[in-house]
Structure formats: structure tokens, C-alpha cells
A = this chain, B = another copy of it.
Amino acid sequence: MQGCGNVRVLIVGMGNIGRTLLEIGEFEKVYFYDTADINVRGAIKLAEFFVPEDVDAVVECASSEAVKKFSFDILEAGKDFLVLSTSAFADRSFREAFFERLQRSTSRLIIPSGAVGGLDVVVALGKDMVEKVLLETRKPSVSLGMEASEQRVVFEGNAENAALLFPKNMNVAATLGLVVGFEKVHVRLVADPWLSYNVHILTVESKIGKYRFEMENFPSPSNPKTSAITAYSALKSLKDRCGESKILIG
């Protein structure tokens, strides 16, 4: 895969994913904004949030609050907007306002597959073809802030409530909700004290096929809430959409 050598980005949130992106992305230029007062080699720090005129895309890897806070500035600036904290879209009034504004902007919304594979099939099928989606996410109890001696179903319900109640852990549910409709996505979140990595099991029933995707994502060493695959997936989307790739797969 080629790099993002010709792409200039603003990274919102210089945590674990932001740093990995910076390291593997080979961008032409990187600005970053973070509420913490940190400095990072190879990236230009913004003291206050704004959208520099010379960036091609804004990459959010901060939180659903950050998505809500900065979205309209980004759409106003007409920049492509890559969102990882898709849980923000579980909030219906924000969702409606965002998509209404997006249609009047030159921005495009880019959502990487993130921690869940098989989204390519789900998007190809689309709302009309997909009948039912079940997402079971199993995480180490500690990464859900729990001390437990046995497996426990922490949440069971639809994707909207999953993402509203567990915004840091249920971005996958929110992304699926956006693609096929929140009401069609049933979510089960399980805390497992014996697990050392995150597991997603995605089952999709459609008019033209049945699919089961099982993913064991080893967590990022510095933040067990996120999986290492997330940064790689974001980079793939950026290369495809904003880079000069000659080979576009998926």
C-alpha cells in the first residue's frame, strides 16, 4: 500500500490512535489539536481549535463529544471529515443536523471500517437488503472499568442505546446503525474477566446471503479500549479517499 505522502491532515485527539496514524501515515503535513497540553514530534500543535486552510482532511480520533463540538466548523470549512467516534451519530438530533449540513457542504464524511471487518459487505448490501444484524462485542472486564469474576452481559439492546450508553466502546454499533438503520442492529456487550483482547462477532442476515464475521483484535498496548487495527483502517480510508492511490480495493 502506498503512503499518504501528498495528504495534509488535522488530527483531532493525539492519543494512541492519533500517534499511530502520525507514525505510519507518512503525511505531507500534520496539524493536531488536543485538549491536553502536549507536544508531539512531527506535528504542528494548534493552541485553539480551528481548521487550517491547507489541510485536505480532518481526522477525528478523540471522542464523540469532540465530533459534536467541532463538526460544524469542519463542514463550514468544506474539508473531508474522517470520524472514528461514530457513537456521536447515535444522538438523533445531532445526527439529523449533521447530515442536513453535510448535504450543503463540499465536505465528505469518511467512516473507516475500524475494529469491525465485513463492513464492506454490509455497505454493499445496504439498507434494503439487510434484514437483521447482531453484534456481540466481548471485552476484558477491566477495559470496561469493571472488576468481575465471571462473564457478564453489560448491555443488550439496539445500536442507538448501545452507543449512547457506551460511547467509547460501541462505535462499531453506531457505524452499523448508520449503514443499515439503528433499529435493525441488535447489540450485546459482554464483559469477560478472562479475555485479554477485544472480540467482535457480527452476524448479518440478508436477502441474498448470510454472513458471520469473527474478529479478535489485539488491543493497543497503551489503551486497551481501542484496537490496533483501528489506526490501520483509518489510514486505509484516508489513502483511498484523499491520497493518490492507483489501486483501490473494496
Contacts and interface: CB of A to CB of B under 8 A. Distances in A.
Interface of A: 1, 102-103, 107-113, 117-127, 129, 175, 178-179, 197, 208-218, 227-229, 232-233, 235-237, 241, 245-250
A173 B129 CA distance: 26
Contacts of A121: 113, 117-118, 215, 229, 233
Give the secondary structure class of A's interface: mixed
Given A124-B236, A197-B209, 20 more contacts: A102-B246, A107-B246, A108-B245, A108-B246, A110-B249, A111-B248, A111-B250, A113-B120, A119-B250, A120-B236, A120-B250, A121-B215, A123-B236, A125-B232, A126-B232, A175-B249, A208-B217, A209-B228, A211-B214, A213-B214
Contacts of A241: 248
A237 B229 contact: no
A187 B42 CA distance: 43
A214 B212 contact: yes
Q: How many copies does the complex hold?
A: 2
A249 B208 contact: no
Given A209-B227, A211-B117, A227-B209, A179 B249 contact: yes
Contacts of A103: 246
A118 B213 contact: yes
Contact of A123 (B102, B216, B250): B250
Given A247-B109, A249-B111, A208 B237 contact: no
